Each structure stands twice: as structure tokens, then as C-alpha cells.
């Protein structure tokens, strides 16, 4: 199959069906815009499983996603979309770049979710932008931005409740949306411990990519713990 794109953690292939792409989940891990790199044995398998479960859950709650089906350990069949070059971030608890940028402690629980957009652009280091920037750069229309925001809040509510039942706190996460050939905006990319911060509800133990970013050790064990609680 022809490879269309290779990203940091996934490869995208064309398929025989013009409406479908195949996503291949790699073991590669990167952080700090690619400066820190490593391979985490089995990460692709775990993230494919977790993402598939999350997409199935979201679809069952009426959220439209690119997910069609899981076809092997590392492969997922998805609908063809053009990715909207926005990283859509929702935060329930302070962590990561927000703490650094604003000089606040990690672990502050917000009364309302905090919404952020970043411009998906590696050369610029994915800068934080607002709605006006997104429209000025023609990354999305006002209607698309409003729809994406509404979907992101809805997804946050669904996932917060889902993970809570697994004794996990959904600290924050990043989503990417895509546009179908007919112009519909749907959730794309992946939802996994690479793209979400998840802490144990009782101990606040980190079970996500911060184990890799911050050299906390036992990276794959954290991802496996999330998957075990989902199964
Ligand atoms: O680093 P930061 O605190 O901005 O990350 C917020 C959330 O978005 C985290 O859950 C992180 O895993 C996710 N993220 C991502 N890909 C990026 C940047 C952030 O998945 N390029």
C-alpha cells in the first residue's frame, strides 16, 4: 500500500477503497517537538487498542469520528479526511505547558474546562493561538471553530465520566479534527496516553506520556495499566 504520510507516532496509508485510509501505530515516541526521541516497545499496539475503544465509546454517544474498525494489532481503518491544522486542547487540571507558561502549580482543578488551540506547525513549535488567529490564517471558518469547540467540550464530558469509572482523572488532552470530502468535520487522529494526561484517582500517579517526557520510568507499564482498566 502507498504511504501517504509518516508522523511521529503513526503512518497513514492509502487503501483500495478511496474513502478509507489505514493508520499504522508505531512504537516511536517523541517529545518537546521531536527533540527527545525513543522507541517504546509495544506502545503502538496499546495505543491502537485504547484509541479504538475510545472512538467506539464516542461514536456510541453520538460523536462523529474517523474510526471505522480495528484491523490488526497496529492497524486501524479510518475514513479519509484532511486534517484541520489545529491542536485542540482541553484542560480540567493544571499541568504541562500551561503551568510553565503561566507560572502555576501542577494539579489545580479548574471549575470550568480550559480550552486552547495551537497551530499545528512543527517549524513554529505548534504556537498557542486564538479563534481570530485561526480564522485569519484560514485554518477554519467561524462555524467550524464553533463546532470543534462544542465537540471538544462534549468529548471532555464523555471521557471524564468514562475514565472516572476506571479510577482515572482526565487531566487534559489534545484532539485533532479532519474534514471529509463532503465537508463534514469529524474527530480524527488518536486518543491515547500519548495525547491525554491520565492520573490515578487516589494516588495521582501519572499513567501517560509524562512518564516519557519527564523520565519517570516504566512508560509502557503506565499505558498497559490504562488499557487493563478499560478491558
Ligand atoms: O504540553 P501540554 O501541556 O500543552 O499538553 C496538553 C495536552 O495535549 C497533553 O495531554 C498532551 O499529551 C497533549 N499534547 C499532544 N500533542 C502535542 C501537544 C500536546 O498530544 N503536540
Residue 224 belongs to a domain: no
Residue 97 belongs to a domain: yes
For residue 1, report the distance from its CA to the centre of ligand 1, in Å: 31
* pLDDT above 90 for 147: yes
75 strand-pairing partners: 24
Same domain, 149 and 186: yes
Domain ends where: 79, 112, 145?
79
- 173 close to ligand 1 (CB < 6 Angstrom): yes
Pocket test for ligand 1, best of 29, 92, 128, 195 (most atoms within 8 A of CB): 195
CATH number at residue 66: 3.30.200.20
203-215 pLDDT, tens digit per residue, is 999 999 999 999 9
Residue 226 belongs to a domain: no
Pocket test for ligand 1, best of 96, 102, 192 (most atoms within 8 A of CB): 96
For residue 17, report the distance from its CA to the centre of ligand 1, in Å: 32
Q: pLDDT > 90: what percent of the chain?
A: 99
68 vs 77: CA distance, rounded Å: 5
119 vs 86: CA distance, rounded Å: 5
Residues sharing a CB contact under 8 Å with residue 221, sequence separation 6 or more, in sequence order: none
Pocket test for ligand 1, best of 8, 89, 115, 189 (most atoms within 8 A of CB): 89
Same domain, 73 and 108: no
- Identify the residue whose C-alpha is closest to ligand 1 atom 9: 173
* pLDDT above 90 for 138: yes
Residue 118 belongs to a domain: yes
- 159 close to ligand 1 (CB < 6 Angstrom): no
Same domain, 67 and 113: no
Residue 223 belongs to a domain: no
148 vs 133: CA distance, rounded Å: 15
Residue 156 belongs to a domain: yes
Beta-carbon count within 10 A of 137 CB:
13
CATH number at residue 104: 3.30.470.20
Same domain, 150 and 210: yes
Q: Which atom of ligand 1 is nearest to the CA of 209?
A: 12
Residue 227 belongs to a domain: no
24 strand-pairing partners: 11, 75
152-196 pLDDT, tens digit per residue, is 999 999 999 999 999 999 999 999 999 999 999 999 999 999 999
Model pTM score: 0.98
Same domain, 124 and 67: no
ipTM of predicted assembly, 2 dp: 0.99
Same domain, 113 and 153: yes
Q: In this predicted structure, what is the pLDDT of residue 182?
A: 97
Same domain, 96 and 152: yes
Q: Which atom of ligand 1 is nearest to the CA of 89?
A: 8
Same domain, 136 and 52: no
* pLDDT above 90 for 1: no
120 vs 144: CA distance, rounded Å: 16
For residue 217, report the distance from its CA to the centre of ligand 1, in Å: 19
Domain ends where: 38, 59, 79?
79
Number of domains present in the structure of the chain: 2
Residues in the chain: 231
Long-range contacts of 156-160 (CB under 8 A, 24+ apart): 156/90, 156/92, 156/113, 158/57, 158/58, 158/61, 158/63, 159/54, 159/58, 159/191, 159/196, 160/92
Pocket test for ligand 1, best of 97, 172, 192, 193 (most atoms within 8 A of CB): 172
Comparing CA positions, the residue from 182, 190, 194, 188 lying closest to residue 219 is 194
DSSP symbol at 138: T
- 172 close to ligand 1 (CB < 6 Angstrom): yes
Q: What is the mean pLDDT of residues 89-109?
A: 98
12 vs 96: CA distance, rounded Å: 28
C-alpha cell at 155: 468529548
Same domain, 110 and 73: no
55-77 pLDDT, tens digit per residue, is 999 999 999 999 999 999 999 99
Same domain, 18 and 30: yes
* pLDDT above 90 for 33: no
Same domain, 94 and 75: no
85-94 pLDDT, tens digit per residue, is 999 999 999 9
Residues sharing a CB contact under 8 Å with residue 116, sequence separation 6 or more, in sequence order: 88, 89, 90, 91, 98, 128
Q: State whether the Cα torsion 131-136-140-144 is positive or negative.
A: positive
Same domain, 74 and 130: no
Residue 230 belongs to a domain: no
DSSP symbol at 85: S
Mean pLDDT of the chain: 98
Q: Hunting for cell 478509507 — which residue is that?
A: 20
Structural domain that includes position 92: 82-218
Amino acid at each position: 500500500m502507498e504511504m501517504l504520510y509518516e508522523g511521529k507516532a503513526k503512518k497513514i496509508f492509502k487503501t483500495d477503497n478511496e474513502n478509507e485510509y489505514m493508520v499504522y501505530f508505531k512504537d516511536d515516541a517523541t517529545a518537546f517537538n521531536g527533540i527527545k526521541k525513543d522507541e517504546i516497545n509495544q506502545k503502538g499496539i496499546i495505543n491502537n487498542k485504547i484509541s479504538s475503544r475510545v472512538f467506539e465509546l464516542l461514536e456510541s454517544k453520538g460523536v462523529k469520528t474517523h474510526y471505522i474498525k480495528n484491523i490488526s494489532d497496529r492497524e486501524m481503518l479510518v475514513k479519509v479526511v484532511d486534517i484541520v491544522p489545529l491542536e485542540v486542547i482541553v484542560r480540567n487540571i493544571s499541568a504541562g505547558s500551561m503551568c510553565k507558561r503561566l507560572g502555576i502549580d501542577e494539579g489545580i482543578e479548574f471549575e470550568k474546562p480550559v480550552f486552547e488551540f495551537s497551530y499545528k506547525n512543527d517549524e513554529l513549535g505548534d504556537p498557542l493561538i486564538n479563534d481570530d488567529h485561526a480564522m485569519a490564517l484560514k485554518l477554519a471558518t467561524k462555524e467550524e471553530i464553533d463546532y470543534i469547540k462544542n465537540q471538544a467540550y462534549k468529548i471532555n464530558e464523555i471521557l471524564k465520566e468514562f475514565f472516572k469509572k476506571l479510577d482515572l482523572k482526565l487531566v487534559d488532552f489534545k484532539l485533532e479534527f479532519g474534514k471529509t470530502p463532503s465537508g463534514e468535520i469529524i474527530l480524527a487522529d488518536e486518543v491515547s496516553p500519548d495525547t491525554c494526561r491520565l492520573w490515578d484517582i487516589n494516588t495521582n500517579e501519572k499513567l501517560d506520556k509524562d512518564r516519557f517526557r519527564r523520565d519517570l520510568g516504566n512508560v509502557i507499564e503506565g499505558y498497559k495499566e490504562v488499557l487493563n482498566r478499560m478491558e
